[in-house]
Amino acid sequence: MFNHSFSPDEESPHAPPNPACVLVFNSNDPSGAGGLAADVSAMASVGAHAMPVMAGTYARDTSRTYDFFVLDDEAVAEQARAVLEDIEVQAIKLGFVGTPDNLGVVAGISADYPDAPLIAHMPDLSWWTVDQIEAYHDAFADLILPQTTVLTGNHSTLWRWLLPAWVGERNPSARDIAVAAGELGASFTLVTGIATADGQIENTLAAPNAMVVSEKVVRQQNTFIGAGDSLCAALAALLASGSELPQACAQAFSYLEGCLSGGFRPGMGQSIPDRLFWAQPEDDDEIPAVDVAKAPPDTA
């Protein structure tokens, strides 16, 4: 299970180093299930600092996506360039940015920072129109995948995108998908939600020529929104913090398992991962009272 460190080593006489900084391109999700809210909380949970660049906002709840309102590429670029002139970045995480033009901004910035691994997530876009999906997929393949260290996505989402003409008695494996992504430039592909014959769910990190890390988990009874963003964000943060890819992936799997096990259903739709599950009190523990008299003054 994921272990969260709440404080620096008490024996160390030195102050802890700054957390790794991750530049995050994603959109606002007002439900708090995914998007930038997922990125910030997941990265903080595993010890990294997120620098969120907003590309637009969904109009959605926990049941469905109603619309999407995009920021233009100049607004996205200005946000990113401003923070990059001030703060050193250790990794870049890409969520949903809405348009091919915004993908171009991410590609340009990633090219300028080749030492920062690009962890790119392809979400389920079935709520969008066919033309919009195709344009986004094409731009992602042309601009993003050639620079991608790890592509992440659900098995069915990546299958429909990267292997649309797949035929055969079996479904494509994670390695089949990694080969297709690798032909477009991605070094590794993390495929989630693979249904297994024993009724479990498998998550697998694969390169075109090898399987790297794989885990099976019990299928959750609830359906979740925001799980993909949470896993991708945790992986990006762990890589930014210096973990090697296999270890970072295993830790991200463990973190996501905790998020889903502690998930909750705040509305009438899908459940949301509890990305702060580690901060919840144990069943027998009481939540400590806050002494408001000792609280710092409000400086906002």
At 72, is the pLDDT very low, low, confident or very high (cuts 50, 70, 90)?
very high
Average pLDDT in the 212-239 region? 93
Position 61 pLDDT exceeds 60:
yes
What is the model's pLDDT at position 173?
95
What is the model's pLDDT at position 12?
43
Q: pLDDT tens for residues 1-57?
A: 445 443 334 444 555 689 999 999 999 999 999 999 999 999 999 999 999 999 999
Q: pLDDT tens for residues 165-212?
A: 998 889 999 999 999 999 999 999 999 999 998 889 999 999 999 999
What is the model's pLDDT at position 137?
98
For the chain, give the mean pLDDT: 90
What is the model's pLDDT at position 268?
94
Position 297 pLDDT exceeds 80:
no
* % of the chain with per-residue pLDDT over 90: 83
CA distances from 28 to 59, 123, 197, 278 (A): 9, 14, 37, 24
Q: Which residue has the tokens 């973990």?
A: 243
Query: CA 128 to CA 14: how far, in whole Å?
Result: 51
The structure's pTM equals 0.89
Give strand ranges (E) for 76-186: 91-94, 118-121, 150-154
What is the model's pLDDT at position 218?
84
Average pLDDT in the 220-234 region? 93
Position 83 pLDDT exceeds 80:
yes
Q: pLDDT tens for residues 235-250?
A: 999 999 999 999 999 9
Average pLDDT in the 151-170 region? 95
What is the model's pLDDT at position 114?
96
Cβ neighbours of residue 133 closer than 8 Å, sequence gap 6 or more = 125, 126
Query: CA 7 to CA 59: how far, in whole Å?
Result: 38
Position 284 pLDDT exceeds 60:
no
Give strand ranges (E) for the chain: 21-28, 49-60, 65-70, 91-94, 118-121, 150-154, 188-195, 201-207, 210-217
What is the model's pLDDT at position 197?
85
CA distances from 229 to 24, 28, 36, 252 (A): 11, 12, 9, 12
What is the model's pLDDT at position 257?
94
Position 258 pLDDT exceeds 50:
yes
What is the model's pLDDT at position 14?
58
Beta-carbon neighbour count of residue 183 at 10 Å? 12
What is the model's pLDDT at position 168?
81
Position 300 pLDDT exceeds 50:
no
Domains of the chain in sequence order: 21-294 (3.40.1190.20)
